[in-house]
Structure 1
Amino acid sequence: MTRIVHISDLHFGKPAAHERLEALKGLVPGLRPTAVAVSGDLTQRCANREFEQARSYLKELERSAPCIVVPGNHDIRWLGAVARNLGFAGLFRRKAHEFKYSRYRRYIREELSPALEIPGAVIAGLNTAHGISRGSLTRRLKDLGVIGHVRRSDVERARRLFEQAPPGAARVVMIHHNPIKGPVSGRHGLANTEWALEVLASIGTELILCGHDHQEAIHAIERTPGLVISTAGTISNRVRPGRSSSFNLVDIGQESLRIVTYTWNRDMKNFLPSTERLFPRPRKPRRYNLNSMKDDGRDLGHVEQTDPRR
């Protein structure tokens, strides 16, 4: 059994919930994970102090298992994103791009789209946090700088990684932005959500780990059978109305995939199991011609959505 503790949206800074962070840190060793996956938004303001706190916290988690991390939209410097779009091609744009991710790379990881191979699974991290960029633009002004997108080059990198993976290993992708609309927010986090889900399914992805929406959810996509999405809630105080902080526990067996949501219990002052879903693992991944798929940014229909509070 391969076990992944999937957490997201820690938001070190003012929204940080230290009691919950400490409880989670104490709970993880007993869960005996194979890996810990952190799907972005480590900080609130992308400040040095917040990154220092996040780095220290990740080191504590790494005592239990190796960690794989991707940046969220709160982890990049917006000024760098703006400067890159205003600048001319060449040195200035490269410098602006480096500035955009400079604090994340200094304190957390140099690699923005990391990979982790563990017994029973391969996890490909894809950076979807690009700030104000052409690929993330939508018709909604409030999406500016918040929404993200999946890049074809990152999908190709994940495809090569999956092709080299051992037979039977689960192909897992981790991104920050949620590709399915949250029931409370009414928003998904990707500008090219349908294309992204289609191509990720085409390379054999079984499971997508994400966050961003601050609402726990488990999704199965009817249009792409065998593809499951684990959306972890936030550990911070920035929870959706009527929701609590949460994280997901993923167990991958030879024939099945189980996801258990752990929700913060105020009375017990700890995270407790609140829901469980079991999915059969696909025997043969679906295959598509990636070059024939147009990235048109359309929304995805026919989604089976599970409310973890049920």
Structure 2
Amino acid sequence: MRRIAHISDLHFGRTDPAVVEGLVRDLDADRPDLIVASGDFTMAARRVEYEAARAFMARLPKPWIAVPGNHDISPFHLMQRFLRPFSRYRRYIANDTEPTFQDGEIGVVCLNTVRSWAPEQDWSQGKIRRRQIALAEARLRAMPEHLFKIVVGHHPFMPPPWDEEARLVGRADRALATFRRCGVGLTLAGHLHRHYARFAVADGEGPERVEVDAARMEGSRDRLLAVQAGSATSTRLRGNEPNAYNRIRIEDGRATVTVRLWTGSGWADAG
């Protein structure tokens, strides 16, 4: 059995100090086997924001694994954005923007979905390159078959139930088809600051809806569950949802996802 804490969209530079301290206490008390951080450590990739994010991550139980988000590359310094977009992320958070993790029960593959350039200057958009899909497939197939496999990105792989036309990470359909072939049980992402989950079913059948307020969700090797996390610590909340993160339990080839919500004075399970 493995326990994973999935946090996302920290946005240092726009955080609630009480929520930050509460999250540190909650994770320290739970002592998960792995923490997954799915991007947007900062608000605008400023040094002071990265320093705060690094100090926060240093206080969390280890090990942890992470990917950058679109807010983690500078919107101000264009030379840095286009020539060295992840230089500050590498300096303050982690040198590898697409790390992997593996132990005796789980295997995690991370994808960097952030792009420094996008059509119409919408820099919030994300995309997965074909070579990234190929590399992820190779990494997933190289893992032992008995492992429960997880893929992590920042941008959503599946649309939210309330907006079927929402923009997804580019090549999401191709990526999901690849993940299914490789026996992936979970994808973890953030970006939208709202939690939800949907099953990626067979091609042509469309997504299977899971209610947005579901407190507990289950995925397996045979039923890939795309899970989104709300914003763990930011004041930039959406949809009247409080700060949130996901607590995930992997056991007997199944993943159970429980949403943890900030109550104003501490964290509690949703529902």
Give the TM-score category using the shorter length: 0.7 to 0.9
Would you say the 8 A contact 1:180–1:188 is kept in 2? no
2:113 partner amino acid: T
Taking a change above 3 Å as real, the CA distance of residues 78 and 265 of structure 1, as seen in their structure-2 partners, is: same
Q: Tell me the distance in 2 between the aligned counterparts of 1:79 and 1:100.
A: 11
Larger radius of gyration: 1
The equivalent residue for 1:18 is 17
1:132 alignment partner in structure 2: 117
The residue correspondences of 1:1-310 to structure 2 (distance < 5 A) are 1-13=1-13, 15-61=14-60, 64-78=61-75, 97-133=82-118, 137=119, 141=120, 144-183=122-161, 187-223=166-202, 226-235=223-232, 236-266=234-264, 269-275=265-271
Aligned residue for 2:168, secondary structure, equals coil
Q: 2:46, 2:74 within 8 Å by CA — same for their partners in 1?
A: no
Deviates more, 1:32-41 or 1:151-160: 151-160
Aligned partner letter, 1:59? A
> 1:107-146, CA deviations, whole angstroms, 9 ceiling, x for partnerless residues?
111111111113311111100011324xxx4xxx5x8111
| CA–CA distance in structure 2, aligned partners of residues 178 and 233 of structure 1 | 12
Which amino acid is 2:89 matched to?
Y
Q: State the identity %.
A: 28
* Structure 2 residue runs without a partner (length 5+): 204-221
SS at match of 2:267: strand
Q: Deviations over 1:60-115 (max 9, x none)?
A: 11xx22010100000012467x66xxxxxxxxxxx875421111111111111111
**Does the 8 Å CA contact 2:129/2:171 hold for their aligned counterparts?**
no
Q: C-alpha separation between the residues in 2 aligned to 1:200 and 1:264?
A: 32
| Structure 1 residue matching 2:252: 3-state secondary structure | coil
Deviation at 1:45, TM superposition (A): 0.9
Moved over 6 A (4+): none
Q: TM-score if structure 2 supplies the norm length?
A: 0.86
Name the CA distance, whole Å, in 2 between partners of 1:168 and 1:226: 15
Q: Which residue of 2 aligns with 1:278?
A: none
Please give the per-residue CA displacement for 1:18-70, whole angstroms capped at 9, x wherever unaligned. Answer: 11111111011222311000000000011000000101111111xx2201010
Provide the C-alpha distance between the structure 1 equivalents of 2:70 and 2:24, rounded to a whole number of angstroms. 24
Q: TM-score by structure 1 length? A: 0.75
CA contact (8 A) 2:39 2:154 kept: yes
Which stretches in structure 1 are left out of the alignment for 5+ residues?
Answer: 84-94, 276-310
Quote the offset at 1:243 in angstroms.
0.9
How far off its partner does 1:230 sit?
Answer: 1.5
**Which structure has more RCO (C-alpha within 8 Å, separation ≥ 6)?**
2
